[in-house]
A = this chain, B = another copy of it.
Amino acid sequence: MRETADHKTLNSIFKPDRPFDIEKWLMRKHLALLGNPPITIVLWNGSAVSSPAGKPVGKVCISDRKTFLKLFVNPELYFGDAYSEGTLEVEGDLIALLETISRSTSAVSGNGLLSENLMKIISRPKLNSLLGSRDNVHQHYDIGNEFYRLWLDEKMQYTCAYFSSPSATLEEAQISKMDHVCKKLRLAPGDAVVEAGCGWGGLALHMARHYGAKVKAYNISHEQVLYARDRAKAEGLESRVEYIEDDYRKISGRFDAFVSVGMLEHVGPDHYQELGKVIQRCLKEDGRGLIHSIGRNRAKPINPWIERRIFPGAYMPTLREMMDIFESSGFSVLDVENLRLHYARTLGCWLERFEGAHDQIGNMFDQRFIRSWRLYLAGSIAAFTTGDLQLFQVVFTSPTNNDLPWSRAHLYTNSSR
């Protein structure tokens, strides 16, 4: 019998005098499955394997056999869990290492569309029914305003900022983002605006204070709504901004503008047509709308660790999938802007502040929590810098609205506000 390469491998694995070969073989296999990113895997016993792809950007150190095997079974889920638990440690720059892995896996998955489709079926996100959405949102946004205050900007914007100049600070970029959104909506004094998913209420206050809008802002996060109402009162804007603790599906009234920044990720593609109907119902004939959402170039399920531990029920759509919102209700898409690198920079600012507040956060949460949030923030940076995630702002209006600006130049002057 001709001895094949596989036959050789099997022989070497089962030789009793070379007890660690099976682990090395598994490590190599693992690296190959990831597309051979330039990293080193180090085991509890010092055994190490580096990718043949060049100088490693970092080391992944695994502290026990159980973690190692779990990683092999479902790397996308257990990498995050093991990192959070501390049974997996990264030596070197965490973001650079995650970027390297993201780049090599996307090169591999580009060839494996069948398995991606299979993944989609297997890893369906949690249902975003009225009750399901409330549970899902509660799990992420209601863990304490004090926590978020430590690393978000002072207006508490937990969405992609807009760095209109490279030297802008996070505070400036979050204000620019709000202005960019308001200018895209061409807000005018007296406009009635409805906001779906308003976070801690910063955008609604900004629209009322600087653009003279009257805003109804919906949110199902109890903690956020309480915070937002307090702020509106403190700023004397409670007569112009109403925060409503309810689901976007319950929006009532008719408005000049609809805006939603960072909520679509929690809606789920099964509900996009329903969202379109809600907008159609509440938008006046010449009304304008803007949806700002994380997205993708190609349909792909969310990373299962992020879905389970960070954002239950979340899904990042492609532009094609987003069109379900607009086409079924006959809206006309006027403008799409991709702000991918702005989100990488925003997340970079957050992570820096998060690390700076390590001791204070340590008084609130355990190390496992801190490590999982570090991984989530660093992993998101890597996803945006490597093009795994996108950030789309889509402006739309009714198909018969001819009150349209001749150019988008008004977005780039200071006179609009």
Q: Are A297 and B331 in contact (CB under 8 A)?
A: yes
Q: Mark A146-185, 1 if CB is under 8 A from B, else 0.
A: 0000000000000000111110000000000000000000
How near does chain B come to A341, taking the closest CB pair, in angstroms? Answer: 6
Interface residues on A, range: 35 or more
Is A387 at the interface (CB under 8 A from chain B)? yes
| A293 CB, min distance to chain B CBs, angstroms | 13
Give per-residue flags for A315-328: 1 if the beta carbon is below 8 A from chain B beta carbons, else 0: 00011100100110
With A166-B406, A399-B297 known as contacts, the answer to whether A319 contacts B333 (CB < 8 A) is yes
Given A166-B406, A318-B327, A335-B337 contact (CB < 8 Å)? yes
Separation of A332 and B319 alpha carbons in the complex (Å): 10
Query: Does A143 sit within 8 A of B, measured CB to CB?
Result: no
In the complex, how many angstroms separate the beta carbon of A191 from the nearest chain B beta carbon? 22
* Best-buried of A103, A341, A386, A387 by chain B (most CB within 10 Å): A387
Please give the count of copies of this chain that the complex contains.
2
- Looking at A19-27, A53-61, A218-226, A407-415, the stretch in contact with chain B turns out to be A407-415
Interface string of A382-412 (1 = CB under 8 A from B): 0001111010000000111110101111011
A123: Cβ under 8 A from any B Cβ: no
Question: Is B320 touching A408 in the complex (CB atoms < 8 A)?
Answer: no
For the complex, give the distance between the alpha carbons of A335 and B339 in Å. 10
Q: A385-B402, A407-B412 are in contact. Are A338 and B330 (CB under 8 A)?
A: no
Interchain CB contact (< 8 A) of A338 among B299, B334, B400? B334
Given A406-B164, A408-B408, A400 contacting B103 (CB threshold 8 A): yes
Which listed residue, B164, B341, B400, touches A404 by the CB 8 Å rule?
B341
- Cβ contact within 8 Å between A335 and B332: no
Q: Does A340 contact B (CB under 8 A)?
A: yes
Residues of B within 8 A of A412 (CB): 407-409, 412
CB contacts (< 8 Å) of A341 on chain B: these are 402, 404, 406
Chain B residues contacting A402 (CB-CB under 8 Å) are 341, 385
- The answer on a CB contact under 8 Å between B385 and A330 is no
Report B-chain residues with C-beta under 8 Å of the C-beta of A46.
Answer: none
With a cutoff of 8 Å between Cβ atoms, the chain B residues found around residue A385 in the complex are 402
Contacts of A334 in B (CB 8 A): 337-338
Known: A163-B406, A332-B387, A399-B387. A326 touches B338 (CB 8 A): no
Tell me if A110 is interfacial: C-beta within 8 Å of chain B: yes
Considering the complex, give the chain B residue whose CB is closest to the CB of A342: B406
Q: A306 to chain B: closest CB distance in Å?
A: 19
A249 located at the interface, meaning its Cβ lies under 8 Å from any Cβ of chain B in the complex: no
A297 engages B400 (CB within 8 Å): no
A323-367 CB mask vs B (1 if < 8 Å, else 0) is 100110011111111101110000000000000000000000000
Please tell me if the beta carbons of B327 and A338 are within 8 angstroms of each other in the complex.
Answer: no
Q: How far is the CB of A337 from chain B (nearest CB, A)?
A: 6
Contact B342 A338 (CB under 8 A): no
Contacts of A407 in B (CB 8 A): 162, 164, 412
User: CA separation between A336 and B184, bound complex, in Å?
Assistant: 13
Which A residues have a C-beta under 8 Å from some C-beta of B? 103, 106, 110, 162-166, 297-299, 318-320, 323, 326-327, 330-338, 340-342, 385-388, 390, 398-402, 404, 406-409, 411-412
Nearest first, the 3 closest Cβ-Cβ pairs linking A and B are A387-B399, A336-B336, A320-B323
